Amino acid sequence: MLKSLNSQILIGAILGILFGWWISQISDSGFAQTSLYILNLMSSLFIGLLKMLLIPLIFSSIVVGVANLQAIGSFGRACKITILCFFTTTSIALALGLLCAHIFQPGVGLDIALFKDAMASHQTPDTLTPDAFFTNFLQNTLINPVKAMTEGNVLSVVIFALMLGAVIVAGRGRFKTVESFFQQFFEMMMTLVHGIMYLAPIGIFALLAKLLATEDFAILGSLAKFAAVVTGTTIFHGVVILPLLLWIFGKISPIRFFKTARPALITAFATSSSSATMPLSMQCAQNMGVRPQIVGFVVPLGAQLNMDGTALYEAAAALFIANLMGLDLTLSQQFIVCLTAMLASLGAPGIPSAGMVTMIMVLQSVGLPAEAIAILLPIDRLLDTVRTVVNVQGDMMISAVVENYTKEEKSVEQVSS
């Protein structure tokens, strides 16, 4: 059944692209307006249901994930491998972003005067220096968990859930009732996710049709070269680097990965939101054979902290802006770009265009004007599609690597006992 659902999702995506393109050609007709209205309703239903589950799912999956991993003695190892993978894959993405921006030099030869109006009319949010970033981070993260849940503050919920999971472990069986409650609650949430997946073909059809019908590809204009370089490099990271790492360290073939992960990858493309896609990423990672306790720990954490596509984009975009302004960034400035882009990708929430906001910090770290994001903002909805796919792909892939290494540890323990 899941197999045929997977094919239905692909068919939904293809039909959505074709229908959206057709609607864009007859955009003034009454039929197009009515279709857009209906597409809007359909996509809101799908995204709304996914978002509804997000906070309860993250909360219960992390509490249960931490407690269960500790119970099988794998928590420490799982944590270390997860953090190592987050750091390594993001560093590779950053290096790729910089390298390709150097090779293809997008922005060189373009006149910044072309974008003067956009920059002048842009309201830049408050200055975001790395110091301010850390202060904001702490102030916005260590808050009342109930408030965080109602506001959809994912990172704050993740931290509270990690702490609760740790307390359950430290209680050595004293909090068994709470643990079983969360375990069952988590299973209920996953059952709901399973149900929502049946709506995915229609939801994805509507999301992609709406995207094609409403986005104006002509706005790429003079930014087409930059868009092509960033998108090409992001695709290279997602199609070559990540699958290779998964093959070597996760022992899962790329073909199997893409087949199983397809529903989540297409949803990420259509929604441009790692958070909204997270319930489906968890389901797909489990379908790949990753144990629920690993999925429940790695995927929600990754949806918040591991964003290769965003990091790559921010590094390449900073170099593009520098080129546009006729500035040559020194090696140490490029290193600073990498560091701040890594921080920016950690801090960006998994929602559309979040990377654009945190990019201000990257630009300012090397003295580039924050208003320059106004140049990229109009094309961001389009570029966000591919970088979100790679963000989501990284989370599922790392859960498979963690599964592989903690499984080995388990079998070694079993043999020696």
Given the rule CB under 6 A, which residues bind ligand ASP?
272-274, 307, 310, 348, 350-355, 384, 387-388, 391
**Least distance between ligand ASP and beta carbon 391 (Å):** 4
Q: Which amino acid is at 121?
A: S
Per the CB < 8 A criterion, the answer to whether 300 and 58 are in contact is yes
Task: Count Cβ atoms below 10 Å from residue 247 Cβ, excluding itself.
Answer: 15
Per the CB < 8 A criterion, the answer to whether 112 and 324 are in contact is yes
Q: Which of 383, 5, 12 is nearest to 209 (CA)?
A: 12
Q: Which regions of 42-115 does DSSP assign to beta strands (E)?
A: none
For residue 275, the SS3 value is: helix
Nearer to ligand ASP, 82 or 391 (CB): 391
Nearer to ligand ASP, 271 or 323 (CB): 271
**Least distance between ligand ASP and beta carbon 389 (Å):** 9
Nearer to ligand ASP, 69 or 303 (CB): 303
The CA-based angle 129-132-137, given to 5 degrees, is: 125
**Least distance between ligand ASP and beta carbon 238 (Å):** 13
Give the C-alpha distances (Å, rounded to integers) separating 194 from 71, 211, 258.
26, 25, 19
Per the CB < 8 A criterion, the answer to whether 264 and 284 are in contact is yes
In this chain, which residue has its C-beta nearest to ligand ASP?
355
Instruction: Report how far residue 264's alpha carbon sits from residue 274's, in angstroms, rounded to the nearest whole number.
Output: 9
Backbone angles phi, psi at 111, to 5 degrees: -95, 120
**Least distance between ligand ASP and beta carbon 50 (Å):** 13
Nearer to ligand ASP, 69 or 398 (CB): 398
Nearer to ligand ASP, 329 or 341 (CB): 341
**Least distance between ligand ASP and beta carbon 372 (Å):** 17
Per the CB < 8 A criterion, the answer to whether 392 and 307 are in contact is no
The tokens of 25 are what? 């050609």
**Least distance between ligand ASP and beta carbon 314 (Å):** 8
Per the CB < 8 A criterion, the answer to whether 314 and 358 are in contact is yes
> Could you identify the residue written with the tokens 């910044």?
112
Instruction: Report how far residue 19's alpha carbon sits from residue 156's, in angstroms, rounded to the nearest whole number.
Output: 40
Nearer to ligand ASP, 106 or 350 (CB): 350
**Least distance between ligand ASP and beta carbon 310 (Å):** 3
Burial zone of 326 (CB within 10 Å; 0-12 exposed, 13-18 middle, 19+ buried): exposed
The string of DSSP codes covering 165-210 is HHHHHHTTTTTHHHHHHHHHHHHHHHHHHHHHHTTHHHHHHHHHHH
> Could you identify the residue written with the tokens 């969360």?
182
**Least distance between ligand ASP and beta carbon 382 (Å):** 12
Nearer to ligand ASP, 63 or 342 (CB): 342
Instruction: Report how far residue 221's alpha carbon sits from residue 215's, in angstroms, rounded to the nearest whole number.
Output: 13
**Least distance between ligand ASP and beta carbon 264 (Å):** 12
Nearer to ligand ASP, 8 or 231 (CB): 231
Nearer to ligand ASP, 183 or 388 (CB): 388
**Least distance between ligand ASP and beta carbon 271 (Å):** 8
Nearer to ligand ASP, 169 or 211 (CB): 211
